[in-house]
Structure formats: structure tokens, C-alpha cells
Amino acid sequence: MASKILVIGATGRMGKHVVQSSVKAGHTTFVLVRRSTLESDPAKANLVDSFKNLGVTILHRFFPSEFGMDVDKVNAVEPAMSMVVEKIQIRRAIEAEGIPYTYIACNCTNGSFLHNLIQLEPAGLTAPPRDKINILGEGHVTAVFNDEVDIGTYTIKAVDDPRTLNKILYIKPPGNTFSFNELGAMWEKLIGKTLEKIYIPEEQILTDIETYPVPTNIFLAINHSMFVRGVQNNYVIHPSFGVEASELYPEVKHTTVEEYLRRFI
């Protein structure tokens, strides 16, 4: 079965042969090329034109698949921090090579966090609990929650938008920032019932991270960074490095947290 192949460095000594071989083998082939390269080197521009004649798709910007938090702002404990460091290293490599990019910081996805109201226990919970909830820390630290459909919409709108070039696109629409306590109160109001709330102190969370197996310990370490350390909202988006999606694209009607939770009533 033919694969989709992305070639980076396609105008180099070996790259052009990789591209030609990929097309010959029947693969759907993509090439990532800097516009500045085409403008400054006629020979490479002609080579890229030959790629187009072969049916190769030319890409000019890189959207790393690191959807989540802004890794440059994350302060997490292990084992999550090692994953964060790897993503940071990829960012620095992209920037050092001068590859045009847009990083997407979508924060918490509803399908991963709100579908069970951020409960790791009991395992396999597919809807918010109706009896009791575990709350990390004191429950007052805020995080941002976004529906996956909206994240996809904002991402595609940013593809050819010069305002997002070499920037971080933060998806932080107004009204989608909540603390653990606020989420619990909203769910109680929707179901008309008071939940038992069990607050887990940070010391216990750190102990659990050390003793829980993979991948539970990774999820818990990520949750600790968000709901105890507050890494999603402890900085201001400055125009020098980032833009906010709902401000750039006010025409997008994003899903609110309440609208999402109503699906489970």
C-alpha cells in the first residue's frame, strides 16, 4: 500500500532523488521548501517546478503536531517533562533552520479532559461522575478547554494567514477558562445534584506520580502541571511571539464548556 511521504531537504544533493523515487514508487509525495530558497536560487526553483510536474505537493509552512500546551511555558514533573523537552528541542531545530512555522497551543481538548470531568479514577469513565469527583490541589487554578472540532477549524484558518507566520496560535476563547471547582459547580447545576468533592493535596499527587504505572503517571503529571501549577494561564500572550485564535477569527462560533457538558445530561 502506498504511503504519504513528506520530504524535508528535497532540494539538496540527496533529497531530489528521494522525491523522484517516492513518486516512482507511487507514493503521495509532499515537499517542504522555504520560499526564500526559491527566490534566491533559480536552480532550486526550477527543481521544485519539476517536482510539481511530477505531481508533488509543495508545502511552505510547518505545523508540528504538538497540539496541547505551549511547551515553552510548561513546568512539569517527570515523566511528563521529558516529553516536553523533546518538543522544545524540535521547536528550536525548526527555528534554527529558518523553516516557516505555526505552533498550535490548543490547551485541554474536551474529548480528553471534560468527557469525564478530568477523572483518572475509576478507569474507563466515559461521562462526568454523578456522585463524587476528585479535585487536584485546592481546585482554584484555571485551565482552558476547547472542542476538537473548533481546534481543527482554527488550525486550518491559520494555514495561509500571515498573522500566524512564525507565531504560536493560542486557542483561548473567552468563556472557556475554568478552574476545577468551577467545572464541578457547573456540572452540579446541570444535573441538579450536589457532588461529594475529594481534594487531593499536591504531596499526594506527587507521590501518586511516582507510584502509578505508565501511562497513568504521565497523565497525572500533565494534570498536575495544569491544575496545580497553572501553566496554561500564568503568562500573557505578547504579539512578539503569539496570537489568540478567537481574536483573529471572531466568525468562528466556538463550543462553550457548558454546551459540551450538556451532551452528557
> Are the beta carbons of 31 and 59 closer than 8 angstroms?
yes
Give the pLDDT of residue 37. 85
Burial class of 231 by CB neighbour count within 10 A (0 to 12, 13 to 18, 19+): buried
Sign of CA pseudo-dihedral 110, 111, 115, 116: negative
What is the spatial distance between Cα 255 and Cα 185, in angstroms, rounded to a whole number?
Answer: 19
Half-sphere exposure in the Cβ direction for 156 (13 Å, CA): 6
* Long-range contacts, stretch 82-87, CB < 8 angstroms, 24+ apart: 83/218
Q: Supply the residues annotated as catalytic.
A: 87
Q: Please tell me whether residue 118 adopts helix, strand or coil conformation.
A: coil
Quick one: what percent of the chain has pLDDT higher than 70? 100
What is the spatial distance between Cα 114 and Cα 110, in angstroms, rounded to a whole number?
Answer: 5
Q: Which domains does the chain have, with CATH numbers?
A: 4-59 (3.50.50.60), 71-264 (3.90.25.10)
Interval 183-198: pLDDT, tens: 999 999 999 999 999 9
Interval 209-232: pLDDT, tens: 999 999 999 999 999 999 999 999
The pTM assigned to this predicted structure is: 0.85
The separation between the first and the last C-alpha atoms of the chain, rounded to the nearest angstrom, is 44
What is the spatial distance between Cα 172 and Cα 24, in angstroms, rounded to a whole number?
Answer: 44
- N residues, the chain: 265
